[in-house]
Structure 1
Amino acid sequence: MITRRQNGSLYTNIQNNIATIEFGHPASNSFPSELLERLTKELNTIKNNDSVSVIILKSEGERAFCAGASFDELVAISNLEKGKQFFAGFANVINAMRTCRKLIIGRVQGKSVGGGVGLAAACDYVLATENASIKLSEFTIGIGPFVIEPAVTRKIGIAGTAELTLDATSWKNAYWAKEKGLFAKVYETQKELDDEVAILSEKLASYDPEALAEMKKVLWEGTDNWNDLLAERAEISGKLVLSDYTKKALSKFKK
């Protein structure tokens, strides 16, 4: 069931020490700024919830996992401050995922574009289906995946990020993403995916929460500068989105 709410939906269900966060938006599960803000707040709240050991991050429906940031909001950016604020949306979510003491399992059932790839990359462990192709198409509209790049490169390396970014019009399939390290496992069907997500999350939730929290710190070592780094990257994108090239490219896409 896909939400029809213009600003999207976000629901959290906590059971047996597992918090399942499900987001949705009628435009292929894309993220308007308000929904990004809600997800950031939710992650920061769960971070301090002692009854939660593990988080499952998933999206609604059977098709797209996440189409990235809101296209309508991107088109409407009119000055640098608004541009920085827009691109800071995913920066804030990635930093909230990074600093959350709980391990985050990504359940990726379909395609991801742009910020959606960054969202998957910021999960600690990702299970996906064969339909979970990925693409970073930012160059086609005159910007680049600057905000999400650190999260993506952390998972797939510089060479993988270069291939994904520079070949901006091509989809990479789920097995490519697995080979590069973005996905841990790939399943044929959504039922298999859901079964395995349930098994893994239950196993993790049965372990010592302190051990899980310490492991989370280890996995994210060397990222303490990301608050500043991602803010700087948001400013780069904020400048580029105001260029004539981007404005022309966006107007073509809009038509």
Structure 2
Amino acid sequence: MGTIEVTIHDNVATLAFFHPASNSFPSSLLQELTDEINRLGKNETISIIILKSTGTGAFCAGASFEELLSVSNYEEGSRFFSGFANVINAMRKCPKLIIGRIQGKAVGGGVGLVAACDYSFATNKSDIKLSEIAIGIGPFVIEPVVSRKIGKMAMAEMTLNPTIWKTSKWGLKKGLFSEIFETVEELDFRLQEYSKELSSYNPDALFEIKKVLWEGTDNWDSLLYERAAISGRLVLSDFTKSALEKFKK
């Protein structure tokens, strides 16, 4: 279930994802998103990618609870969490700048997607939360990309308060969001204006800036999968299984 759609206008590609469960991600949808980012990275006719979700509700609810509940062994768990590692690595390696359109709330892996964008627009409804530790795991895979944006202390503040929403204004102050707006309409107007201007610049210069922005992250090719293995082990615990069932109900 879920869809990934790509539209291209002039030299700007819009990559939109959707899932009926608050735009959450089963592993199959994570793989589709990774594949599309890799394909767009090789498309010489575009210089900017806009990442967005469909609908007026949540931007992204993170990992699919249904699939988490179905994990029965370490290999399955490690492989599932590696899906977010694949997406984050694809975004950081993509030679195109990625602009995030964050119209609503983001949880867990959704916060990781926001942090992996090179620039992001949000609304006053774009609250954020890292709820993983409350279900017996932790935001291990996304920690490097989130900490890179907001710092270790802010990351710790979110992680160790898993039931508390942080406002979009907090996210702006910490550097997760680049700009925030009162309404989606205002966001979209600014996004269109900004992407048109940015895409008019020298694509070679944009590519070099992208490389500079992600300097020092080469070790993520191994680090994120090591982190996925930690989550893959913890998701099998009785604590996590019980917590997931409670959340589901």
TM (normalized to structure 2)?
Answer: 0.99
What is the match of residue 173 of structure 1?
167
SS of the equivalent of 1:248 reads: helix
Q: In the TM superposition, what whole-angstrom CA distance separates every residue of 1:55-79 from its partner, at most 9, and x where no partner exists?
A: 0000001110000011100011000
Count how many residue pairs are aligned between Structure 1 and Structure 2. Answer: 249
Among all aligned residue pairs of Structure 1 and Structure 2, give the percentage whose two residues are the same amino acid: 63
**Aligned pairs for 1:1-255 within 5 A:** 7-255=1-249
Structure 2: distance between partners of 1:128 and 1:237: 29
Structure 1: distance between partners of 2:182 and 2:71: 40
Q: In the TM superposition, what whole-angstrom CA distance separates every residue of 1:172-199 from its partner, at most 9, and x where no partner exists?
A: 0000000000001110000000011111
Structure 2: distance between partners of 1:252 and 1:185: 36
Deviation at 1:253, TM superposition (A): 1.8
Deviation at 1:16, TM superposition (A): 1.1
TM (normalized to structure 1)?
Answer: 0.97
Deviation at 1:15, TM superposition (A): 1.1
SS of the equivalent of 2:66 reads: helix
SS of the equivalent of 2:180 reads: strand
Which runs of no fewer than 5 residues in structure 1 stay unpaired?
A: 1-6
Structure 2: distance between partners of 1:64 and 1:248: 25
Tell me if structure 2 keeps the 8 A contact 1:135–1:172. Answer: yes
Structure 1: distance between partners of 2:41 and 2:119: 17
Tell me if structure 2 keeps the 8 A contact 1:16–1:205. Answer: no
Q: In the TM superposition, what whole-angstrom CA distance separates every residue of 1:42-100 from its partner, at most 9, and x where no partner exists?
A: 01011111001000000001110000011100011000000001100111000000000
Deviation at 1:112, TM superposition (A): 0.3
Q: In the TM superposition, what whole-angstrom CA distance separates every residue of 1:142-182 from its partner, at most 9, and x where no partner exists?
A: 00000000010000000110001001110000000000000
Q: Which amino acid aligns with 1:46?
A: L
Q: In the TM superposition, what whole-angstrom CA distance separates every residue of 1:23-43 from its partner, at most 9, and x where no partner exists?
A: 011000111111110010001
Structure 2: distance between partners of 1:23 and 1:35: 8
SS of the equivalent of 1:14 reads: strand
What is the RMSD computed on CA atoms of the aligned residues? Answer: 0.6
SS of the equivalent of 2:140 reads: coil
Moved over 4 A (4+): none
Deviation at 1:254, TM superposition (A): 2.4
